Chains A and B, each alone.
Chain A
Amino acid sequence: MVKYALMFHPDRCVGCPTCVVACKQENEIPVGPSWLRITKRVYKVDGKLKMSFNLLRCMHCGRPPCIEACPVNAITKRSDGIVLINKELCTGCKACIEACPFKAPQYNPEKDVVEMCTLCVHRIEKGLLPSCVQHCPAGALYFGDVNAVTAALQENKWPTEV
């Protein structure tokens, strides 16, 4: 049984917001909410400057706290691991945002619903990569079966080699 994973390689990321805009275009997200957010940190180790990036997004958790929090049972986890919000059921109450440690679910004021990363399920069903993964010029995002992705990361492969 395939279990999908989207993995982030912090050593590769250069902090450009390509993934953010790719996601916005693909999923038609207005100004305001963002399913992906990059954070940058500049710090010193033994007097040497360092810079690191992180990508905040839905982790499609093993036991998603958002599912517990949703009062109308609009959130489900599929057998392939993808956590999805059913927009028909969502009332926009934002309880899932409160429950999520990453604040990954995002309120869309235009639609009055909460949305979050779907792993571009409409693309992967067609055999395409999620938009953020395909467009990342830094090779920092990996998508595929969790075992294949983990192996690719361990072998330091480029994402297109997964």
Chain B
Amino acid sequence: MKKIVKSICTQCHCECGVLVHVEDGVVKKIEGDPEFPQNEGTMCPKGLAFVQLLYHPDRLKYPMKRVGEKGEGKWERISWEEALDLMAAKFTEYREKYGPQSIAFGFCDGDRDEVGPWMAWLIAVGSPYIFGTDAHYCLRPAFVADSLTFGQSHTWEVGPDYDNSNCILIWGANPVESHPCSTARRILKARARGAKLIVVDPRFTPLASKADVWLQPRPATDAAVALGMLNVIINEKLYDEDFVKNWCTGFEELKERVQQYPPSKVAEISWVPEEDLVKAARLYAKNKPCAFHTRMGLLMNTNNLQTVRAVDLLSAVTGNVDIKGSNILPYPSPPRSRSYVDFFRLHKESIPLELFETRPGYKEWPLIYGYDSPWNDAHPPSAIEAIARGQVKAMIWVNDPVMGLQNSKKIQESLKKLEFMVGIDFFLSPTANLADIVLPSATWLERDMIHDLHYFYLPPKGKRDYHESFVSIGEKVIEPLYECWEERKMAAELIKRMGLKSPIPIDSSDAYNNWRLEPLGITVDELKKKRIVSIPIKYKKYEEIGFQTPSFNVELCSNVLKEQGFDPLPYYEEPPESPYSTPELAKEYPFILISGGRHICFYHGALRQLPWLRELNPEPKVEINPETAEELGIRNGDWVWIETPRRKGERVKLKAELTETVHPKVIHAYSHWWFPERKDDPDRGCFESNINIITYDDPPYDKHSGTPLIRGCLCKIGKVEA
């Protein structure tokens, strides 16, 4: 029997509507759904090849128990009964013996809404520890920086209203690879109808090649570039005088601050030619409305919060806030589905304060990890320390922090010290390999899932002129294969066996999803029929309620930062390691390393098993300027080693791709490389080409957010001799 099921691809955060073709219970094909507004029928290679993951011969098929040493890779198949009983006994034992703070849940970026049931487990156990591994360099610092300025965040995927924009600024982000269908598609569509495009990126990416102006800053000098653009906009009076007068505080202070950043000086700091900087500033200020978007390129350094603030202020002084075609503030909005924010709130309310305060990073960086932060994560490097010194003894890990976090060898050593670890994944990843129990997870094709899609979009055919986001459901297409379970069921069964009670209904998929939908007054069955519940969003909400900052204004000069003893205005700070701050070190390590460029075919460490995707990217690559390569005797396709000062002696090996898209002084290594096909090696080659072996998790940290210098450290390279 043939049928087509409408679902939502959850392989990345684009969340594209798909049509899944099923024949006699077997998924044959996944294609884009032309009626789904998020992607309008388009797809990316990840979703198009997903059938190869679903039926991959190496997929985890049943629970397994470690029989050899930790990490040795010897496993024995066990039943779910045995796995759950063992887990319940162990976690109960640690809870009673050492208290709930000896237990934690950790996850790498993946299905964010699947975290809900695990939060329920944490609450039931009474543990304060959720370890989101990207807490210090993905969304959180940017979210906080935006909120300090505007009261809410509107720069990540949620905010930019590309469809109505006249000018688009993409800074330290590469949506073509990381958000192709929801974001890049709309940017490219806007460009096709004539919107200007400015791209700031140390790499000449395909998107940069389409830009009207491309700025190529020295890595980690973005704050200087933004302050230089502000200097031009303010001194040339290109800012929005009415908006600044009526809705901004601290303009005079900002005006004074930017005098320290004349374009000529910024050019020296950032290597961005003065005339390009001025051109970008004028283009941005004179083409209102502008939408802008930033991402991890701005966040993986030791001055990330002030860097995002500096870029934010470009939109503030030009009045590109909450107006059509700019960046739209997400709240207040009509009720939405219960999502991760609600899970975090529930967790925060359930855990006694004195326990909550023991979260690693809570006291040191309260803006991100403190009580008032919207997130409950711990500071990841400190959390790994807590595991290493035995403070946390038993954990559940979802996904793959050994590949995803900086300083991979330390991550592996630390996780090995856990007395009891459960690993959950689709494959036996380098992290799952360190576990005592491995559990096979169901994919998005094998479970119902509520999606709260924040992205703004123009409804198909352009019938309405307001923007909206929406809630939808990714429907289960087939029953879970083999003995795979959805994580909700794992959490529910574990809670039951520990004799505890879940704070939210998770006993069945429908119960959980109905609870999530409750604020909307709709049930799962109704949503399946409607598919989409639209949530209209209004412009200029600040005219009614102001901005959600202490002054109810856009705070160019931040009151919160001032109160906490920080500089209330953005500034540039030379990275702790650079040709200028450590010139002696730079003689031995003459290049600047940026790592972590994404490829559209992979999602972080995932998907290297899929033949159609791996065929297009068979090997780890490092991009080197031909001029540099010639000096070092490196030819295209040579294996090259890379070393960083603080990981002296550790050398990772990648294949040289000579390209002028990187500056002669900058080396760019693609991230997250391991070799799942090497089945004889329990580590699957994860300590060979994985750039995170030599990236930093150590201090100095950003004083607001605790972020180490992840991109922009020094390095040396050389040809691997045969």
Residues of A participating in the B interface, judged by any CB pair closer than 8 Å: 11-12, 14-18, 20-22, 24-26, 30-32, 42, 44, 49-53, 129, 131, 134-139, 156, 158, 160
Contact = CB atoms under 8 A, between A and B. Distances in A.
B210 A31 contact: no
A135 B206 contact: no
B659 A42 contact: yes
Contact of B612 (A24, A42, A137, A158): A24
Given A12-B192, A42-B660, A51-B661, A139 B185 contact: yes
A139 B189 contact: yes
B177 A16 contact: yes
A41 B286 CA distance: 33
Interface residues of B, number: 41
B188 A50 contact: no
Nearest to A22: B48
B176 interface: yes
Contact of A51 (B184, B193, B206): B206
Given A42-B659, A49-B214, A139-B192, 11 more contacts: A14-B184, A14-B188, A14-B210, A16-B177, A17-B600, A22-B43, A25-B30, A53-B206, A131-B31, A137-B184, A139-B185
Contacts of A26: 29, 31
Given A20-B616, A25-B51, A137-B184, A49 B661 contact: yes
11 contacts: A14-B184, A14-B210, A16-B600, A17-B616, A31-B611, A42-B204, A49-B660, A50-B209, A51-B661, A131-B31, A137-B43
Nearest to A29: B612
A16 B179 CA distance: 12
B209 A18 contact: no
B34 interface: yes
B40 interface: yes
Contacts of B184: 14, 137-138
Interface of B: 29-32, 34, 39-45, 48-49, 51, 176-177, 180-181, 184-185, 188-189, 192-193, 204, 206-207, 209-210, 214, 600-601, 611-613, 615-616, 659-661
A11 B191 CA distance: 11
Contacts of A51: 204, 206, 209, 661
A131 B31 CA distance: 8
Contact of B661 (A42, A129, A134): A42
Contact of B206 (A15, A22, A30): A15
Contacts of B616: 17, 20-21
Given A16-B180, A49-B660, A136 B42 contact: yes
A137 B611 contact: no
Contact of A158 (B177, B180, B189, B206): B189
A17 B599 CA distance: 10
A109 B210 CA distance: 39
